[in-house]
Amino acid sequence: MKKEPLKIAILGYGKMGREIEHLAEERKIEVTEIFDIDRPIYKHERHDFDVAIDFSSTDAVLKNVETLGHIKKNLVIGTTGWKDRESEVEAIVKDSGIGVVYGSNFSIGMQMFYKIVERAAQFANSVQDYDIAIHELHHKRKADSPSGTALSLADIVLKEFFRKNDILEETSHGVISPHSLHVSSMRLGEATGTHTIYIDSLADTIELTHRAKNRSGFALGALAAAQWVNGKTGFYNFQDIFEEVLKTG
């Protein structure tokens, strides 16, 4: 029996939403509905899609999850900046019985970078002479700072580099504590997302950098996550399941 193509809805029709729409067609995924600030999704309407992909705004995430939970539709959340509401979102997902994949970065290349940083932090941790920090650069319109990706990288470093136990997100106006992981940010023009890990000692400096060239990597990862979560229930971090996503994509 021929398998029906996946039907998706797009929440947020900015540059990422348009990129998802464009690449969905290439992957034989049908975009059946598009929602934006001027045309929000309502729970009392009839909807014809299997999975929604949310690249809207931080403020809209909780409301979108509530609506998707009410209409029993699965969701991929690519919007960042809502980490402080994660427990609320997870509770809604579990209570409604839907499936959600969320992530600070849906780029497959960034998922590879996470693994590289994890191993590098382990090495640096084993040598007392080395210190470690993170810097990220994005275009001037990005709302959250540091980026969700930078904070995900910081979480990885803190788990592996035992001499650090907290994050300093702001500019240091004095001597930084040796126990603080400095995560700095810059916003500039049309710069694409760039994340660099610095591992430094008196002897040398190691720089590990991931630089996004365009939005296609994020869109392809989100579409792959939508295919994976279709028909599933639960609350999943893309970082934890991306290898499984690759196998089934």
Over the stretch 17-60, which tens digit does the pLDDT of each residue have?
999 999 998 889 999 999 999 999 999 999 999 999 999 999 99
Kindly name the residue from 47, 138, 164, 182 that is annotated as catalytic.
138
In a domain, 2, yes or no: no
Q: What residues make up the domain containing 202?
A: 108-211
Report the number of distinct structural domains present in the chain. Answer: 2
Q: What is the pTM of this model?
A: 0.82
Rg of the Cα atoms in the chain: 19
126 with 100, same domain?
no
Residues of the chain with pLDDT > 90, as a percent, come to 83
Let me know if residue 134 belongs to a domain. yes
Q: Residue 1 pLDDT more than 60?
A: no
Pair (121, 206) in one structural domain: yes
Q: Of the residues 70, 94, 142, 232, which is catalytic?
A: 142
In this structure, the answer to whether residues 34 and 12 fall within a common structural domain is yes
Same domain? For 201 and 124 the reply is yes
CATH code for position 150? 3.30.360.10
- 47 in any annotated domain: yes
Q: Distance between CA 18 and CA 28 in Å, rounded? A: 16
DSSP 83-109: GGGHHHHHHHHHHHT-EEEE-S---HH
Instruction: Determine whether 142 is an active site residue.
Output: yes
Q: What are the pLDDT digits (tens) for 106-159?
A: 998 999 999 999 999 999 999 999 999 999 999 998 888 999 899 999 999 999
List C-alpha distances in Å: 100 to 44, 57, 92, 187, 226.
21, 17, 10, 30, 9
Average pLDDT of the chain, as a whole number: 94
In a domain, 86, yes or no: yes
What is the structure's pLDDT at 171?
86
